[in-house]
Structure 1
Amino acid sequence: MLATRIRRWKPVALATAAVLAGLTAPALTATPAAATTTAYDTTYYRDAVGKTGTALKSSLHTIISSQNKLSYAALWEALKVTDQDPNNSGNVILLYSGKSRSKSLNGGDVGDWNREHVWAISHGDLTTSTGPGTDLHHIRPEDVQVNSIRGNKDFDNGGGTFTNSGGSLTDSDSFEPRDAVKGDVARMILYMAVRYEGDDAWADLEPNDRVANGSAPYTGRLSVLKQWNEQDPPDAFEERRNQVVYDTYQKNRNPFIDHPEWVEAIW
């Protein structure tokens, strides 16, 4: 079951049906994230609650590093469960475009959906070997062509629209997801920065406040990601996804979905 939680107010314009369907939401205004309480605070997060700064980041790293790992091939079937359209069990919701597409159309052809790495593989040479490049917490279904347009661009505000954008924008060196998933993207990026600290075979992943990071193990822009976390709090779709990843696949959680206020507490 989903954790019981005390959550901050979300603008009425983000009607529940629209959020669950992945539709583009109106532009939002950032407000400070209020503290949340979950059923996991006395168990899973027991050693993190009450901490801030580097102590909180370190504690969360230890907690979420205990996980089951999936192969790259296994992601296909997992995504059909984690990102299922709540209004059509035969479809998945595509992250950036917001479209609902048949689960059977997974592949590499035009009209298919494939596996989008929100933390781009090239930012730290993640590869598709079992590890950060197969971590389900930052991999989402997306239209093949939209995925290619995003490429390995960092995240920032601004840019122009494109085919099947769903409200997402892009320019030469950055990508802005549609309003309804801006917070989702921010929380996925910051999860990766806490989970992968360079104490295993992989790079130390960190957010920074620039774009065009290339192959460096950084993703930006942090100041914008923090704004997006405030503007677009976790919704029912994102919370369900976090729970499914925890219960069925990796046995670890994205702490910033459970506690979005921890973003500001760390960064």
Structure 2
Amino acid sequence: MKRLVTGLLSFIMLWLSIPTASALGTLPAPNEHQRHIVCTSLSDAAQAYYHDGCQYDSLSALSGATDPATGHTAMQDNELFDALHTLMTATHGYKTSYSGYAPGSLAYFWASTDAVESSSTYVMFYSDVMADSDGISLNREHIWPKSRASYVQSNGGADLHHLRPVVSTLNNAKSDHLFGDINGVYTDGVKAGSVKGEICYWVKNDADLFECKDDVKGDVARILLYVYCRWEQPNLYTDIDPTLLPPNENKGTNNGKKVVEDIDTLLTWCAQDPVDTWEMRRNDLVATVQGNRNVFIDYPEYAWQLFGRAVPVDMITPSWVSRRDVDGDGSLTPLDATAIQRRLADLSVLSFSEKAADADNDGEITIIDANIILRTIIKIT
């Protein structure tokens, strides 16, 4: 169904020749970052991954969906989807196993990828409690429910970018519900759930909905986008006719039901909960194992471009600061806004990139661009 993007060929040949850490029998050092610290720069590993025509400027120039009415039609005639799928598939050199704790398994690598501040255990998804906490039992969680997917416990069903450790009671409550907003939207039939005394999810069974806490919603959105694009599962934000679903593998039973309430919810969650430094580092560590990255962590902007929508002009992403660092000092400060204002006055006091100065990407440098930078500085601090 997908067309190979010619510009990626040299990139693919290079990456296929590079052994992953797992192939070499090594476990990466545990994730040293905290959760929920906003990431305002790409890691060195992320920058090294995108080359030979795969840089953001090149891929973001490709056309997105011509018809995003359904998750399936959004895949068609979509140059950007094809390029991202090809990139993440061609560089995916090693596949983890689903069960157990032996080398090569999901749980074996979680000790590295899902650790927090180099701890000796790992953090449980949705709740942020540690796996060694009293009374905690673990489930291997398909963020994209396996009843709504063409995989079970291999390929997309055992992908380290996708599968996460989850408290078993929370996993049972989540079941195979789709993601959506509940808290503050519904009053009847809502169950609030807690782990270790902290409310971290809501369930409304009669609406088939599950909502996680706000500071995990972006993680969820970026995982769903990865599975949609890497594993070509079309039922992302709309139900899909069974005849349009990919073939089931190893007893998969994809029912074609959507996994998130709608495309607006997906993008809102992605924007409201920015990538954190822990998530960026996890992406690095998974790449040392599998070879591929979740491109929606490095460049959340692709989520909007994929569906033919304008990227929010003041959304914080790992690359936003570097692209708006007008004076080139490595950080986003009021000096960058001042540089734009001086440019408007035609003083030419500071040297800066005209492209970076155009913060809202409208083709002109205006006072709006300076205001965008100032608003983003406030968000970051």
Under TM normalisation by the shorter chain, which class is it? 0.7 to 0.9
Contact conserved, 1:161 with 1:170, CA < 8 A, in 2? yes
The DSSP-based 3-state class of the residue aligned with 2:80 is helix
The answer to whether structure 1 residue 142 and structure 2 residue 166 are counterparts is: yes
Task: Calculate percent identity across the aligned residue pairs.
Answer: 29
The answer to whether structure 1 residue 45 and structure 2 residue 54 are counterparts is: yes
The answer to whether structure 1 residue 239 and structure 2 residue 274 are counterparts is: no
The answer to whether structure 1 residue 183 and structure 2 residue 218 are counterparts is: yes
In structure 1, the partner of 2:373 is none
- 1:156 corresponds to which of 153, 160, 180: 180
Contact conserved, 2:238 with 2:257, CA < 8 A, in 1? no
Which structure's relative contact order is higher, taking Cα pairs within 8 Å and 6+ residues apart? Answer: 1
Residue pairs, 1:248-263, within 5 angstroms = 249-263=289-303
Distance 2:41 2:54 in 1: 14
Distance 2:271 2:95 in 1: 30
The DSSP-based 3-state class of the residue aligned with 2:139 is strand
Distance 2:223 2:215 in 1: 14
Deviations 1:67-112 (A, max 9, x none): 12111121111122111122x6122111111212229x9xxxx621
Distance 2:258 2:112 in 1: 29
Structure number with higher helix proportion: 2
Query: Residue 179 of structure 1: CA displacement?
Result: 1.0
Amino acid at match of 2:111: K
Question: Post-superposition, which runs of at least 4 consecutive aligned residues in structure 1 deviate over 6 A?
Answer: 34-37
The answer to whether structure 1 residue 120 and structure 2 residue 134 are counterparts is: no
Distance 2:63 2:287 in 1: 24
- 2:128 corresponds to which of 76, 80, 98: 98
Report the TM-score when normalising by structure 1.
0.75
Contact conserved, 1:137 with 1:245, CA < 8 A, in 2? yes
Amino acid at match of 1:167: C
Moved more, 94-103 or 256-265: 94-103
Gaps of 5+ in 2: 1-32, 65-77, 100-104, 183-189, 243-253, 308-381
Distance 1:51 1:257 in 2: 19
Query: Residue 124 of structure 1: CA displacement?
Result: 2.2
The answer to whether structure 1 residue 69 and structure 2 residue 104 are counterparts is: no
Distance 2:41 2:79 in 1: 18
For the structure 1 residues 208 and 217, does the alpha-carbon distance in structure 2 shift closer, same or farther, using more than 3 Å as the test?
A: same
In structure 2, the partner of 1:59 is 83
For the structure 1 residues 77 and 35, does the alpha-carbon distance in structure 2 shift closer, same or farther, using more than 3 Å as the test?
A: closer
Query: Residue 189 of structure 1: CA displacement?
Result: 0.3
In structure 2, the partner of 1:80 is 111
The answer to whether structure 1 residue 220 and structure 2 residue 292 are counterparts is: no
Contact conserved, 1:36 with 1:261, CA < 8 A, in 2? no
- 1:170 corresponds to which of 203, 206, 221: 203
For the structure 1 residues 22 and 140, does the alpha-carbon distance in structure 2 shift closer, same or farther, using more than 3 Å as the test?
A: farther
For the structure 1 residues 160 and 22, does the alpha-carbon distance in structure 2 shift closer, same or farther, using more than 3 Å as the test?
A: farther
Report the TM-score when normalising by structure 2.
0.54
Distance 2:138 2:199 in 1: 15
Paired residues, number? 224
Contact conserved, 1:95 with 1:140, CA < 8 A, in 2? yes
The DSSP-based 3-state class of the residue aligned with 1:167 is strand
Gaps of 5+ in 1: 1-18, 26-33, 198-203
Distance 1:253 1:22 in 2: 20
Distance 1:259 1:161 in 2: 32
In structure 2, the partner of 1:207 is 236
Query: Residue 50 of structure 1: CA displacement?
Result: 2.3
Query: Residue 121 of structure 1: CA displacement?
Result: 0.9
For the structure 1 residues 80 and 216, does the alpha-carbon distance in structure 2 shift closer, same or farther, using more than 3 Å as the test?
A: same
For the structure 1 residues 189 and 64, does the alpha-carbon distance in structure 2 shift closer, same or farther, using more than 3 Å as the test?
A: same
Amino acid at match of 2:173: I
Deviations 1:98-153 (A, max 9, x none): 212229x9xxxx6212211101111124111x211001111111101111111111
Contact conserved, 1:209 with 1:223, CA < 8 A, in 2? no
For the structure 1 residues 69 and 205, does the alpha-carbon distance in structure 2 shift closer, same or farther, using more than 3 Å as the test?
A: farther
Contact conserved, 2:36 with 2:277, CA < 8 A, in 1? no
For the structure 1 residues 58 and 76, does the alpha-carbon distance in structure 2 shift closer, same or farther, using more than 3 Å as the test?
A: same
